[in-house]
Structure 1
């Protein structure tokens, strides 16, 4: 018993030495607003998946037209309306890439063997013998370009207009908001159609048509946020220190609106892509031989029952782009909007 008691020394019963400064030490590094937002986006699996899918589609839009070696506008009438055929997948009968198609009597025929064609057309060809794979990614490139350009113009005009209107207030705000109400009162589709009819159809005219009223929504959102922020203490402190109006707007108010601006821009992009496709579908978009997702869908719709692949691939691409942009916008909204935080 004594041996067991000898193991316990007097030093073991001394009070613990606690460093009071260590209790307030922050072991983990502090996170900035954007680092915290990125961590929240990473938790949203749908948003992360959308980012990778959109990056893949954008890369394919840039390099896709050069992969097959066919020109986007190169016509080859003997190879018109060929079904899809991909090397390595042609022997898998349950995949639609074996070069076969149902004939008028219902039998399955290999069109490539029937026409003695040795080339491979991964997504088939259209009625003029143009490679659909090349035209699809070229059309995706043009559609995304128009949407991004229109969204950028909407963002610049909407942010500047809304911020100036809310910050100066009074008569300036009243006049600027009456202009916005007039534009909102005019049907968007009618205004865009009239503008495209006046201008020569093309990328620039479609972009102007999409931007002429597209900035109104951004301007209203920014105006509401600036009205709330301009009465905050940091703005009053900046005024007290002698900052002019331009500095207050661009150095204090706009950075605090970055989250709202990004979210609204991300929702604008799929809307612009869909509207461009709609204009091209009804014949008011790009003219031949230029291709966009809308013109490809229009061409495929005309021959849907005979050659469904002409509509299938553009429809899949535009659907995936719109879904991914909307899911990414939802993820950014949850991460950047404080009201959506858990």
Structure 2
């Protein structure tokens, strides 16, 4: 170094040159904008967010997408439409959810259907043509029943509307009035209204009864056969679509699922908010001040958390029933403890950071420090935990509804639909399939969404590709 000629050392810039920092060419990105940018790069979380938005949209509008008030308007008539197979437009063209069903029936009944002018299109396959032409064909003398594929919508309408009188007379077991399933007794006004709607198939009998108040106008009763689909739905079977089928009460399962989802999700959001307000308020105070208050409240929380949730739920439902407010109280009785733990841990973690000490030095009040400086820095973990708390409640509520512990009197939940579907799964698997798919999609979507939020709000990942 000593042998270097100093004349060879030349300054890069002249003394008159003014060196300046280059201006930033990019816009300043805040914490939340950076979090959103990272969240968008997580494709799984973004798709999950879209799915959740779709579920929330369907919760709001799903129950009104298919107007069907028959169970409320006439529960007895709705029972005639129970257990109808799912039929979905477009998918039916591919043989999926096309309203077809396998049924096992006697050959005399199937022959009557095949030869009836109203039975066209009811039987799709499985019934030999020889028996259509001759029900006593010798090749099938020893066979009394056949399993055939039918258009279930036309099949239900045929059995409820067009069954021939001879079949009931020869094979019925309904007592003195074998036509009871397919007839209506109408007054004159009802008869005229039905006649105007063109739903009367035929008139079986007309009976006059004396009118003591007006002998000149006796009471007239019409015994008639009516088209059930036109009577109940004002449309033909081929124009009727129950997308998810119907349940044992004749209710549209598509509508019932979204009604149940509305109850579950609204209760989940309400319970999460209540737990957040109670838990975060107590946890932030205890975590910020610490000391004796922290020790005393920790002992109290240990006592409360030691009480099994199932015991609380069972005792409350046995004492007060299963009204919605009872379930909310049960889930908030100990549910706030998780929020309390999160808030206490986060405030205890940040209360001695430099920016908090600086704010305290400048005279900021405790309330301002807690909610202006500490709380925003804990928001990421808190939001993530609550995003995961919603599906946790939905799954818990569905589980206890499935087990029969929660059984709403005037409402339906997805768990109750799963319970009903489990009882009928061997004969009608769609009753279990669709509610279970909804629960599975919701759980997966919320978990992916929560994981995406956790990564997006993690400050240590800022700038990491």
TM-score scaled by length of structure 1: 0.89
| Counterpart for residue 245 of structure 1 | 366
How far does the alpha carbon of each residue in 1:255-283 deviate from its partner, in whole angstroms, 9 at most, with x for none?
Answer: 21111110110111110001111121122
Contact 1:65 1:71 in 2 (8 A): no
Cα distance in 1, alignment partners of residues 459 and 423 from structure 2: 48
Cα distance in 1, alignment partners of residues 308 and 461 from structure 2: 32
Cα distance in 2, alignment partners of residues 40 and 333 from structure 1: 11
Contact 2:322 2:409 in 1 (8 A): no
Cα distance in 1, alignment partners of residues 241 and 419 from structure 2: 24
Cα distance in 1, alignment partners of residues 343 and 417 from structure 2: 36
Partner residue of 1:312 out of 416, 423, 433: 433
Q: Secondary structure at the match of 1:109?
A: strand
Correspondence 1:73-222 to 2 at 5 A: 74=72, 75=75, 76-93=78-95, 95=96, 97-104=97-104, 106-116=147-157, 117=229, 118=237, 119-222=240-343
Cα distance in 2, alignment partners of residues 57 and 103 from structure 1: 35
Residue 72 (structure 1) shift: 9.0
Contact 1:72 1:131 in 2 (8 A): no
Cα distance in 2, alignment partners of residues 214 and 317 from structure 1: 25
Sort the Cα spacing of 1:340 and 1:150 in 2 relative to 1 into closer, same or farther, 3 A: farther
| Counterpart for residue 37 of structure 1 | 35
Cα distance in 2, alignment partners of residues 64 and 242 from structure 1: 53
Contact 2:52 2:442 in 1 (8 A): yes
Q: Secondary structure at the match of 1:90?
A: helix
Correspondence 1:207-286 to 2 at 5 A: 207-286=328-407
| Counterpart for residue 206 of structure 2 | none
Q: Give 5+ residue unaligned stretches, structure 2.
A: 1-13, 105-145, 158-228, 230-236
Contact 1:80 1:128 in 2 (8 A): yes
How far does the alpha carbon of each residue in 1:219-255 deviate from its partner, in whole angstroms, 9 at most, with x for none?
Answer: 1122111111110122122222222222221222212
Cα distance in 2, alignment partners of residues 19 and 60 from structure 1: 64
Moved over 6 A (4+): none
RMSD: 2.1
Contact 1:126 1:132 in 2 (8 A): yes
Residue 189 (structure 1) shift: 2.0
Q: Identify which range, 261-270 or 114-123, moves more after superposition.
A: 114-123
Q: Secondary structure at the match of 1:115?
A: helix
Q: Secondary structure at the match of 1:102?
A: strand
Considering fraction of residues, name the structure with more helix: 1
Considering fraction of residues, name the structure with more strand: 2
Contact 1:73 1:289 in 2 (8 A): no
Sort the Cα spacing of 1:306 and 1:250 in 2 relative to 1 into closer, same or farther, 3 A: same
Cα distance in 2, alignment partners of residues 256 and 106 from structure 1: 66
Contact 2:324 2:408 in 1 (8 A): no
Cα distance in 2, alignment partners of residues 339 and 30 from structure 1: 18
Residue 106 (structure 1) shift: 4.6
Structure index of larger Rg: 2
Residue 73 (structure 1) shift: 5.3
Cα distance in 2, alignment partners of residues 19 and 199 from structure 1: 81
| Counterpart for residue 164 of structure 2 | none
Q: Secondary structure at the match of 2:67?
A: coil
Q: Give 5+ residue unaligned stretches, structure 1.
A: 1-14
Cα distance in 2, alignment partners of residues 20 and 293 from structure 1: 69
Contact 2:316 2:330 in 1 (8 A): yes
| Counterpart for residue 11 of structure 1 | none
Cα distance in 2, alignment partners of residues 204 and 288 from structure 1: 12
How far does the alpha carbon of each residue in 1:172-197 deviate from its partner, in whole angstroms, 9 at most, with x for none?
Answer: 11111111111222222222222232
Cα distance in 2, alignment partners of residues 84 and 320 from structure 1: 20
